[in-house]
Amino acid sequence: MTKHPDCVIDTNLVLRHVLGDDPKQAAAVKSVFDALRSGEKAALLLESVLAECVYVLLHYYEVPKEEVVEKLDGVVRYPGIVNRDKHDLREALKLFGEHALDFVDCVLVTKARIGALELLSFDEKLKKLNRKIS
């Protein structure tokens, strides 16, 4: 049974946690992420927040893609991240790390595959990948 969330976390909290680039803000969120890591606190990490984190880390901070996947997957794996679609988000991050698609496309492919849904798109590369992994 999934624990009921205590909170929803914002993009900036995740960024401060994974980057540690603002020592004052990183220190302020440390206890939150320590509690999420231990499972003492339960939070939702929305798909939209995760997508924004991917975009900002890649395009603003120029973090290498492999490191983005590793850092964000690490956060999603925390026992205190209690999303019902946690497995889907981890699969989308994995797919993102393996293919030249943007993260949202990887979420679409993952959700279609896991839900046994038809993926409708004009994007031929996306449809080809969906057929390949389905």
- For 130, the domain range is 85-134
Around 134, how many Cα atoms within 13 Å sit in the side-chain half-sphere? 17
pTM of the model: 0.91
Whole-number pLDDT of residue 43: 96
What is the distance between the alpha carbons of residues 13 and 115, in angstroms, rounded to a whole number?
30
Q: Report the domain count for the chain.
A: 2
Closest CA to 81 of 53, 47, 107, 54: 47
Pair (26, 48) in one structural domain: yes
pLDDT tens digits for range 13-47: 999 999 999 999 999 999 999 999 999 999 999 99
Q: Please, which contacts does 50-57 make with residues 24 or more away whose CB atoms are closer than 8 Å?
A: 50/14, 50/76, 50/89, 50/93, 50/103, 51/103, 51/104, 51/107, 52/11, 53/11, 53/14, 53/15, 53/18, 54/96, 54/103, 55/103, 56/11, 56/15, 57/15, 57/18, 57/19
Residue 77 and residue 92 in one domain = no
Q: Domain boundary residue among 42, 57, 83?
A: 83
CA-nearest of 74, 82, 129, 83 to 106 is 129
Shared domain for 4 and 54, answered yes or no, is yes
Burial bucket for residue 53 (CB in 10 Å: 0-12, 13-18, 19+): buried
- Phi and psi at 73, nearest 5°, equal -65, -35
- Which segments of the chain have a pLDDT < 50? 1
Cβ atoms of 112 and 118 closer than 8 Å = yes
